[in-house]
Amino acid sequence: MPLYEHVFLARQDASTQQVEELTAQMTGIVEGLGGKVMKTENWGVRSLTYRMNKNRKAHFVLLNIDAPSAAIAEIERQERISEDVIRYLSVRVEELEEGPSAMMRKADRDRERDDRGGGFRGEREGGGFRGDRGPRRPRDEETTDEE
C-alpha cells in the first residue's frame, strides 16, 4: 500500500482533548478502510506564519499512514467538513521516517539548549556583554585637533 505523511492544523481554541479526539477519528477512518497509522505526533500549539481564518496559532498533528488512497480521500473530506480543522496536507512518500520527525528533533534541541542555560547571545564566557575587546585604539594623526 502507498505511504503518506499527513499533517493537519486544528484551531487554537480547541482543547488538547478535542484535538486527540479528532486524531482518533482520523485514525479510525484509516483503519476502517484497511489502512494503518504507523505513527502519530502532536507538535502542540505553534504560531502560524500568517493568519488563517482569523487564527494566529494552531495545534499541529502529524500522521504517518500506510493506507489506500481512498482512506486519504476520506480523511481529507472529513477535515473539510470539520470546523476545527484549519488546514491539512497529505504527501505521498517512498518510505516513512523512522524515529521522531524533524519538528520533534528541533523541539528536543530547543529544550536541551534551554536546560543548558544558553540561547541568549549576551551570556557568553569571557566577561562583558560583547566580551573583552581590549583597550581603545588611538585616533589617526589626521583626525586629531591641531590648531
> Is residue 109 very low, low, confident or very high in pLDDT (cuts 50, 70, 90)?
confident
The answer to whether the pTM exceeds 0.85 is: no
pLDDT at 118: 57
The mean pLDDT value for 79-89 works out to 93
Domains parsed from the chain with CATH numbers: 3-104 (3.30.70.60)
The CA distance from 124 to 35, in Å, is 52
* Alpha helix positions (H), the chain: 16-32, 69-81, 102-116
Report the relative pairing of strands 36-52 and 55-66 from DSSP bridges.
antiparallel
